[in-house]
Structure 1
Amino acid sequence: MLIQDVINAIEEIAPLPYAEDFDNVGLLVGDKSENVTGVLVCLDTLEAVVDEAIEKNCNLIVSFHPIIFSGLKKITGKNYVERVVLKAIKNNIAIYATHTALDNSIVGVNDRICDVLGLQNKKILIPQKSTIKKLVTFVPTKNADTLREALFNAGAGSIGNYDHCSFNVTGKGSFKGNEASNPVVGKKGVTHFEEETQIGVTFAKHLESKILKALFKNHPYEEVAYEITTLENTNQHIGIGMVGELETAVNPTEFLTFVKERMQTGCVRHSEIIDKKVKKIAVLGGSGAFAIPNAIAAGADVYITGDVKYHDFYKAENKIIIADIGHYETEQFTKNLLVEFLTKKFTNFAVVLSVCNTNPVKYL
């Protein structure tokens, strides 16, 4: 089993094209062609985590946060980032980070928060834009069924709760090959008319290379005519944050106490309590103050996130209760999610949950 095989599995639920532009995700250190001896899953890759990987014979660390975020001009060990990279390289340990690719996954960070809190009817809070693409191609009608099915098998044609979706128009296509051509039908130098079917299918943007591979492999023509466009449609399955509902509306103070216990946090900083029961809850792991207006627009009674600044609490404006439970605390269960997923995928090597608590914030 290669490191690349583990990467392929992770990217099934957290494709890198959905990471935010500012982020640094993927394989940060190491050789993807190396054999895997074991996988250690953590939230942050610190020196203690690399030591743990060495001790447990894991040559791949899967981390939520990227240890290398901005560029490194020197690696001399003068700070904790450089020391981690040096130690990993010296011990032939690869480091892979998911971060906002997993943030934007419908089964990622925020889905796990909802599960821990027992929320139902979950939906993405801020759907990511420009994630749906459309392929239009033209194929001889006699080959249309074969090509269409190949595109479906590659992941094209899925829209929300439906799959095998396409639009098909039959008409006549024309072409004339030059002396260097080798036409499948017709003769070079002669204009040929062929009954063709125009096939249109949508697909998730991270599948583009797979879709094109299926197109070229199953299209009979020497030269394949096709076009790909990016759609403005909202994709309800990719995006950051999540909204869900409690089974029963509860008193807000009671709910915040419940959140403190379930999310294992030493402190809940919150805006003024609104005197009504709460049922709809918005969550966003990590630093989420930017999404306060989105939580309000979604009709949430409480918004749970981390890293809320003093003036951000004013934005509640008696419309919502903002609860800052801590950056680490909102993301801490992410590593459990990854361990569970990888353990089901791979049974021939160890997938280990790191025991290191990497939270830099302490409470009295």
Structure 2
Amino acid sequence: MSVQGQTIIQWFEQFSPKHLAEDWDKVGLQIGTLQKEISRVLVTLDITPEVVDEAIAKKAELIIAHHPVIFQSLKHLRTDLPQGKIYEKLIKQDIAVYTAHTNLDITEGGVNDWLAEALQLKDITLLTTTYQEPLKKLVVFVPLYHEGQLRDALGKSGAGHIGQYSHCMFATQGVGSFLPGEGTEPFIGKQGTIEKVDEVRLETIYPASLEKKVLQAMFNAHPYEEVAYDIYPVQQVGKNLGLGRVGKLSQEYTLREFAEHVKENFQIQTCRVVGDLDKTVKKVAVLGGSGSKYLYAALHSGADVYVTGDLDFHTAHDALLKGLALVDPGHHVEKVMITGVQRVLEQFANKAGQKLEVLASEVDTEPFTFL
């Protein structure tokens, strides 16, 4: 069996929407088409010649990568140059490439949560907020005896969620009236006669990103042929989403011990450390990729140690001066996304009753060799 490529990406974007990506980022379909049947997906951190060969050998029709295969604008597409050869082989083999970068870092349950999970952190919060989810308000009128059915359907679709509470709605009773015209098939009343019905005005909020799902649930659960409803913008915002995570370790470590903990749980050979190796650490900030620019966010979070990649010399001196320990395990620890995305897609496919083989790339794309 196989699944339409567009369906696979619709599943994935429910988990990691493209609109979460930073403005400078390049995410989405980069090479090929999704208008085809796909039976195998290969998930990788980077796309290298070896990864492309792996996709061909494993007969994958789609690659989902974290780092964009096309980032800078192309001035030419030369197949006699190394990068051009990658594009040529992908196109000739009809392998599509889809990239999820900062949106996968930011999304709830994405890269930064997988990193925090690998470090066994608890009581996790955001390091820095990059996106506040807009909310809208739905007002819908429903016959009195169908209120419960509609309330339940809206709640299950994601409407009415406030903090840890779900199905949050407000109802007021009144009398609705309507005149069914020619060609109608009214649920209540008959053509040509004004009908008055005891109705409920049901009000609830929902994340703007769920509008299609919420409205579809409303139409499916509502008994009327024509549903009377209104949608309003509201000033409140929903969830805060962002880069990095802050959490606590289950026990105190010295910085030296914590560095070993990082190496063991990220399955890496070595890491760079800044700070007093005998310092006690308990609260940890972690951010996948290059995190130098978020040093002050880590400081303000109250973290004892900041774990991130690609730290530069001057950032290390700033942290040392301010008493914040650093552990740099390298950019490549974002490879946690490979098994993370694999699990996500397998869960969507199983829920949909579809058979889809999601493969974790076995190619090591770490460019550095540690001697």
CA deviations 1:81-112 (Å, max 9, x no partner) are: 43322221110111122222221123211222
Q: Which residue of 1 aligns with 2:326?
A: 322
TM-score, normalising length: structure 2: 0.83
Contact 1:137 1:225 in 2 (8 A): yes
> What SS does the aligned partner of 1:102 have?
helix
Q: Which residue of 2 aligns with 1:357?
A: 364
Contact 2:138 2:206 in 1 (8 A): no
Q: CA deviation at 1:337?
A: 1.7
Letter of the 1:337 counterpart: G
Q: How does 1:278-357 map to 2 (within 5 A)?
A: 278-316=281-319, 317-329=321-333, 331-344=334-347, 345=349, 348-357=355-364
- The alignment's C-alpha RMSD in Å is 3.4
Give the strand-richer structure, 1 or 2.
Answer: 2
- Percent identical among aligned pairs is 34
Query: Runs of 5+ in structure 2 lacking a partner?
Result: none
TM-score, normalising length: structure 1: 0.84
Q: CA deviation at 1:302?
A: 0.7
Task: Go from structure 1 to structure 2 and tell me whether the alpha carbon gap of 1:292 and 1:192 turns closer, same or farther (over 3 Å shift).
Answer: farther
Q: CA deviation at 1:303?
A: 0.8
Question: Whole-Å Cα distance in 1 between the matches of residues 156 and 369 of structure 2?
Answer: 50
Q: CA deviation at 1:54?
A: 0.6
Question: Whole-Å Cα distance in 1 between the matches of residues 139 and 97 of structure 2?
Answer: 40
Contact 2:22 2:103 in 1 (8 A): yes
Q: Which has the higher mean CA deviation after the structures are superposed, 39-48 or 81-90?
A: 81-90
Q: Which residue of 1 aligns with 2:84?
A: 82
Question: Whole-Å Cα distance in 1 between the matches of residues 197 and 295 of structure 2?
Answer: 56
Question: Whole-Å Cα distance in 1 between the matches of residues 271 and 202 of structure 2?
Answer: 54
Letter of the 2:367 counterpart: P
Task: Go from structure 1 to structure 2 and tell me whether the alpha carbon gap of 1:73 and 1:192 turns closer, same or farther (over 3 Å shift).
Answer: farther
Q: CA deviation at 1:275?
A: 5.9
Contact 1:134 1:203 in 2 (8 A): yes
Q: How does 1:27-176 map to 2 (within 5 A)?
A: 27-77=29-79, 79-142=81-144, 143-170=146-173
Q: Does residue 1:235 correspond to 2:235, yes or no?
A: no
Contact 1:117 1:259 in 2 (8 A): yes
Question: Whole-Å Cα distance in 2 between the matches of residues 287 and 255 of structure 1?
Answer: 20
Contact 1:129 1:234 in 2 (8 A): no
Letter of the 1:59 counterpart: E
Question: Whole-Å Cα distance in 1 between the matches of residues 35 and 120 of structure 2?
Answer: 40
Question: Whole-Å Cα distance in 1 between the matches of residues 41 and 287 of structure 2?
Answer: 27
Question: Whole-Å Cα distance in 2 between the matches of residues 182 and 315 of structure 1?
Answer: 72
Task: Go from structure 1 to structure 2 and tell me whether the alpha carbon gap of 1:76 and 1:200 turns closer, same or farther (over 3 Å shift).
Answer: farther
Letter of the 2:59 counterpart: N
Query: Runs of 5+ in structure 1 lacking a partner?
Result: none
Contact 1:243 1:300 in 2 (8 A): yes
Q: Which has the higher mean CA deviation after the structures are superposed, 58-67 or 23-32?
A: 23-32
Task: Go from structure 1 to structure 2 and tell me whether the alpha carbon gap of 1:130 and 1:106 turns closer, same or farther (over 3 Å shift).
Answer: closer
